[in-house]
Amino acid sequence: MVAKVEGVKVTLRQLRYFRAVVEHGTFRQAAESVSISQPALSLQIKELEGRLGCLLERDSRRVVLTLLGREIYHQALRVLDEALLLETIGRRYSDTSLRVVVGMVSTLAPYLLGGVLERLQSVEPRIELDPREATGQALVADLAAGRLDAAIVSLPVGLLQLPERELFEDRFLLAARPERIAAFKLAFDGNPHPPDLAHADLGPLLTLDWGHCLGEQIRGACAAWRLEDERCGVGSLATLSKYVESGAGLTLLPETAALGECSHAPGLALLRFTEPEPSRRIGLVHRVASHGQHWIELLAGAVTGAGEELVRRARATVRNDARADAA
């Protein structure tokens, strides 16, 4: 039990160091992440515990939050979030221009970002977007840590400190060489259900590498697929599409990416599933401190408009009764 020290103030620096220790699990990694020495960080944490009580249980490998530590940690996140807002509010609103750092999941950004930027050019106040592209898991971590103002990811995220709003539905299409698509249509008299893929024996299921939420969603939609016939390892939809175009197997592509990838991989063909079609839910996630701010509404509207346009084009091109050809 750490004795409380009266008269010592809790500082934002101490809270930032405390957050780093919790996020990284060790004092060494936490010190490296905030660019100070480990003894200096340990001293700051000791002073914080002297004021508030025992926050961390230490062993030779990792630190673990105490019950008090968990409560203090959640409050510290709120305090740091508000402090970050105060530090950046002047910069953001200078010259009637608003600069926001927005993360976008890497399986969506190449197809959506241009449309979002185009729509933001006509809004007031003017929003200058500073985009970041990464996996959904990395974006959520950066958002919670204050390195992003908002993120466009697949929902749900499920964190109380990160409000989320669904913007549009992005359905999945079967993508493969034309001969494989033709065989599917012949085998299932039209459009298949996702579970049908596991019984078609028309090639392995190709997905993105572990860590990409879209890869998990593809595997979830094809849950009955034989595990020995699943292959993952590529890191982008562009590479995955080329892999499928070569005849190595088949995959599922989201509507937002399907037409763009077919333009780069013209040997691909697309086929819709029967209803209910598998899909992912795309949404906007931000921190509690940004709730109610006007730029959130402007960004949400731009993303929704750009996403729905991509989806509308895909649905007009690839219909359930159309030929299995994206061209």
CATH of residue 160: 3.40.190.10
* pLDDT for the residue 93: 53
Q: Look up residue 23 and give its two tokens.
A: 């996020």
User: 198 in a domain, yes or no?
Assistant: yes
Domain end, chosen from 41, 65, 88, is at 88
User: 318 in a domain, yes or no?
Assistant: no
Examine the domain organization and report whether 177 and 238 are in the same domain. yes
* pLDDT for the residue 300: 96
* Average confidence (pLDDT) over 258-278: 93
Domain end, chosen from 88, 119, 139, is at 88
Phi, psi of 26 (to 5 degrees): -140, 155
> Helices H, strands E: what count in the chain?
11, 11
Examine the domain organization and report whether 159 and 189 are in the same domain. no
Q: Return the SS3 of 133.
A: strand
CB 303 within 8 A of CB 167: yes
Instruction: Enumerate residues 6+ apart whose C-beta is below 8 A from 300.
Output: 165, 167, 284
Range with the lowest mean pLDDT among 144-148, 287-291, 313-317, 320-324? 320-324
Range with the lowest mean pLDDT among 22-26, 27-31, 96-100, 309-313? 96-100
Examine the domain organization and report whether 134 and 65 are in the same domain. no
Examine the domain organization and report whether 179 and 257 are in the same domain. yes
* pLDDT for the residue 219: 75
* pLDDT for the residue 320: 61
User: 324 in a domain, yes or no?
Assistant: no
Burial environment of residue 250 by CB neighbours within 10 A (0 to 12, 13 to 18, 19 or more):
buried
Residue-number span of the structural domain to which 124 is assigned: 94-168+281-313
User: 41 in a domain, yes or no?
Assistant: yes
* Average confidence (pLDDT) over 157-181: 92
Instruction: Enumerate residues 6+ apart whose C-beta is below 8 A from 194.
Output: 221, 222, 273, 278
In tens, the pLDDT along 195-246 reads: 777 666 667 888 888 778 887 887 777 765 554 567 777 889 999 999 999 9
* pLDDT for the residue 6: 53
Examine the domain organization and report whether 155 and 293 are in the same domain. yes
Examine the domain organization and report whether 132 and 55 are in the same domain. no
User: 46 in a domain, yes or no?
Assistant: yes
Banded model confidence at residue 189, pLDDT cuts 50, 70, 90? confident
Range with the lowest mean pLDDT among 70-79, 120-129, 157-166, 262-271? 120-129
* pLDDT for the residue 135: 92
Examine the domain organization and report whether 124 and 25 are in the same domain. no
Examine the domain organization and report whether 285 and 164 are in the same domain. yes
Banded model confidence at residue 191, pLDDT cuts 50, 70, 90? confident
Domain count, the chain: 3
CATH classification at residue 43:
1.10.10.10
* pLDDT for the residue 84: 75
Examine the domain organization and report whether 150 and 297 are in the same domain. yes
Q: Return the SS3 of 199.
A: helix
Examine the domain organization and report whether 158 and 289 are in the same domain. yes
CB 151 within 8 A of CB 103: yes
User: 3 in a domain, yes or no?
Assistant: no
Examine the domain organization and report whether 74 and 219 are in the same domain. no
* Average confidence (pLDDT) over 259-268: 94
Sign of torsion over alpha carbons 144, 145, 146, 152 = negative
Domain end, chosen from 47, 65, 88, is at 88
The yes-or-no verdict on residue 252 having pLDDT over 50 is yes
Name the CA dihedral angle for 108, 109, 115, 116, rounded to a multiple of 10 degrees: 110
Examine the domain organization and report whether 133 and 68 are in the same domain. no
